[in-house]
Amino acid sequence: MKFFLDTANIDQIKEAHDLGILDGVTTNPTLMAREGITGEGNIKKHYAEIATIVDGDVSAEVISTDFKSMVREGEILADIAENIVVKIPMIKDGVKAMSYFSNKGIRTNCTLVFSAGQAILAAKAGAAYVSPFVGRLDDITFDGMELVEQITDIYGIQGFATEVLVASVRSALHIVKAAELGADVVTCPLSAILSLLNHPLTDIGLKKFLEDYHKSQGK
């Protein structure tokens, strides 16, 4: 399972990259706004910087909601770097745009997916990735991981090539569950990845090892 960072924050992307566990990045308009990135030129520059740090795919989201504008915007984004994947919302014009890009060899990430039906449409449209939002489903008391299970089952049965990218990940448990279900990718904040590190027995064990070492050295 690949680890993508769900952020537009350069420091966090560098930190995850330095850990050697970063396979890609996803962004969205909210995350770009959080970094204070405004204006087409700055947005393009920011994506270019991220795409240079990261070896793997970087999802850049379109703002438009009609087919023609999505195509125009997506082509500009795809031109920034080879590893840019155009992120497109699951709406009717979005399906048309994903089919268009797929025929042109431009990879897409279908975002805002909340049902198995939407995931089937994304795969039919040739999306490279489908992004079910698990945290936001949990927020409305629907188990987001049930949707991931349904999608991985359907894609397996149907032989769809679209990769399941679990998004809106909020915790270590989401990451572990996604791995159990055979998801291809999780995208999450750095804090969720770092929380995988935590176990009190590791801390207790390390303290004891170091104490014993120092004792044996007469310190």
Answer for the pair 172, 192: CB distance below 8 angstroms, yes or no.
yes
Identity of the residue, 26 or 152, whose beta carbon is nearer to ligand G3P in the bound complex: 26
The candidate with the shortest Cα–Cα distance to 26, out of 85, 114, 99, is 85
Q: Is 6 in the site for ligand G3P (CB under 6 A)?
A: yes
Pairing of strands 57-61, 163-166: unpaired
Contact flag: residue 3 with ligand G3P (CB under 6 A): no
Among the listed residues 26, 108, 109, 118, the single contact to ligand G3P using CB under 6 A = 26
**Residue 146, number of CB atoms within 10 A of its CB:** 13
Contacting range for ligand G3P; rule: CB under 6 A; set: 37-45, 128-136, 192-200, 208-216: 128-136
Question: Going residue by residue from 175 to 214, which x/- string records binding to ligand G3P, judged by CB under 6 A?
Answer: ------------x---------------------------
| 133 lines the binding site for ligand G3P (CB under 6 A) | yes
Comparing CB distances to ligand G3P, the nearer of 135 and 182 is 135
State the nearest-atom distance from the C-beta of 175 to ligand G3P, in Å. Answer: 13
Which of 2, 17, 124, 136 touches ligand G3P (CB under 6 A)?
136
Separation CA 62–CA 88 (nearest Å): 6
For 188, list phi and psi in degrees, rounded to 5: -155, 165
Catalytic one among 2, 45, 68, 87?
87
Q: Which residue has the tokens 């995208």?
A: 187
Phi first, then psi: what are they for 120, rounded to 5°?
Answer: -65, -45
- Widest CA span in the chain: 75
Residue 107 and residue 99: Cα distance in Å, rounded? 10
**32/204 with CB nearer ligand G3P:** 32
d(CA 161, CA 142): 26
Query: Of 70 and 134, which CB lies nearer to ligand G3P in the complex structure?
Result: 134
Minimum distance, C-beta of residue 99 to ligand G3P, in the bound complex (Å): 22
Among 108, 109, 118, 168, binds ligand G3P (CB under 6 A): 168
**Helix or strand run (H / E) with residue 170:** none
Q: Is 215 a catalytic residue?
A: no
| 150 burial via Cβ count (<10 Å: 0-12, 13-18, 19+) | middle
Number of residues that bind ligand G3P (CB under 6 A): 9
Chain residues in the site for ligand G3P (CB under 6 A): 6, 26, 28, 133, 135-136, 167-168, 187
Residues carrying an active site annotation: 87
